[in-house]
Amino acid sequence: MRISPKITERIAKLFLWSAAIFTIGALIFVIGFVLAGGLTHISWSFLTEPILDMGREGGILPAIVGTIFMVFVAVGIAAPLGVASAIYLAEYTREGKVTQAIRFGINCLAGVPSIIFGLFGFILFVVMLGFGWSILSGGLSLAAMILPTIIRTAEEALRAVPASYRDVAASLGATRWQVVTKSVLPYALPGILTGVILGIGRSIEETAVVIFTAGSAVQMPTSIFDSARTMAVHFYILAREGISNDMAYATAAVLICTILIINVSAYTMMHRLTKGRRS
């Protein structure tokens, strides 16, 4: 029996719509589940007090500070390196064997699982270089992990800059470096920042890398050579060791809110960028 094309079309549409609605439903469910369990336990003191009794009491301030420190180290290293890589790929070279090799490296690095970055960071930074379990080791390992994200977004942003920007600057006698810094980079900046924000987001979410390279000290970190836990690690330990469900929910809620803010700002920045281009 042949089914009429119109009916197939209807069935297909129904199926595709339900897939889309299911996906959005899953997202709402995940966020709602965490916020419903956690928002009521969040208070000012939760955000500003030290971790007491392994997390049963007190707040999560050291974890917040640890997260911020770690992100700073990671982005401080990965952003300049990543943007420089992107500038080389987009502005300083033609496609060829060399760029192919570089791109292969970037793509493979993007696919390496976080646990491998954790092992790598542990053996190189913690053990061999003697940084110990510290914010520095954690930040360096995270930097390696977020590097491909930053390179890819930055290169895309650079490639979106119209050729006329380069031509005009070059015709005025600017060197290639002047063309890049004075003309191309300012135009590509919002796109580059989007990549950096995504990198920040990935660093905040990450657990496996951080737990093996930065340890999980509950004290307030005072320098980058101290061990520290991020919010994600703190949450993992609370949940996995069954220390306190309420505190776990609350930490997860703070984590989710942070991620929401970061994603929304990355998205609006990208949106504003494309909108500005059209007019």
Partner 1 sequence: MDKFISRLLFLAACSSTAILALIALFIFKEGVPIMAKTGLGHFIFGREWFPLSGQFGIYAFIIGSLWVTFGALIFGVPLGVSCAIFLAEFAPRKWVGILKPAIELLAGIPSVVYGFLGVMWLAPLIRNHLGGPGLSILAASIVLAIMILPTIVSVSIDAIQAVPKNYKEGSLALGATTWQSTWRVILPAAKSGILAGVILGMGRAVGETMAVIMISGNATTIPHSPLDSVRTLTANIAIEMGYAIGDHREALFATGVVLFFFIMILNTVALRFARRKF
Residues 165-194 that bind partner 1 (CB under 8 A): 175-177
Residue of 39, 68, 182, 205 interacting with partner 1 (CB under 8 A): 205
Beta bridge mates, 57: 52
Considering the rule CB under 8 A, would residue 225 count as an interface residue with partner 1?
A: no
Stretch of residues binding partner 1 (CB under 8 A), selected from 43-51, 158-166, 182-190, 232-240: 232-240
Considering the rule CB under 8 A, would residue 227 count as an interface residue with partner 1?
A: no
Q: How far apart are CA 85 and CA 91, in angstroms?
A: 10
Question: 225-257: b or e for each residue (b if 16 or more CB lie within 10 Å)?
Answer: ebbbbbbbbbbbbbbeeeebeebbbbbbbbbbb
Residue 222 or 263 with smaller CB distance to partner 1: 263
**Nearest distance from residue 29's CB to partner 1, in Å?**
8
Stretch of residues binding partner 1 (CB under 8 A), selected from 39-47, 54-62, 88-96, 188-196: 88-96
What's the one-letter identity of residue 17? W
Give 3-state DSSP helix, strand, coil % of the chain, rounded to 5. 80, 0, 20
> 43: buried, middle or exposed (CB in 10 Å: 19+, 13-18, 0-12)?
exposed
Residue 45 or 101 with smaller CB distance to partner 1: 101
What's the one-letter identity of residue 29? F
Residue of 47, 101, 129, 172 interacting with partner 1 (CB under 8 A): 101
Residue of 142, 147, 161, 188 interacting with partner 1 (CB under 8 A): 147
Residue of 1, 2, 3, 5 interacting with partner 1 (CB under 8 A): 5
**Nearest distance from residue 155's CB to partner 1, in Å?**
10
According to DSSP, the β-strands at 57-58 and 51-52 are antiparallel
The residues in 245-264 that bind partner 1, with binding defined as CB under 8 A, are 248, 252, 255-256, 259-260, 262-263
What's the one-letter identity of residue 196? V
Stretch of residues binding partner 1 (CB under 8 A), selected from 56-64, 102-110, 160-168, 220-228: 102-110
Residue of 70, 74, 106, 135 interacting with partner 1 (CB under 8 A): 106
The residues in 16-55 that bind partner 1, with binding defined as CB under 8 A, are 16-17, 19-20, 22-24, 26-27, 30-31, 33-34
How many chain residues bind partner 1 (CB under 8 A)? 78
Are 101 and 238 within 8 A, CB to CB?
no
Intra-chain end-to-end CA distance of the chain, in Å: 53
**Nearest distance from residue 194's CB to partner 1, in Å?**
11
Considering the rule CB under 8 A, would residue 92 count as an interface residue with partner 1?
A: yes
Residue 98 or 222 with smaller CB distance to partner 1: 98
Q: How far apart are CA 137 and CA 257, in angstroms?
A: 26
Nearest to 251 by CA among 219, 198, 214, 204: 204
DSSP 242: T
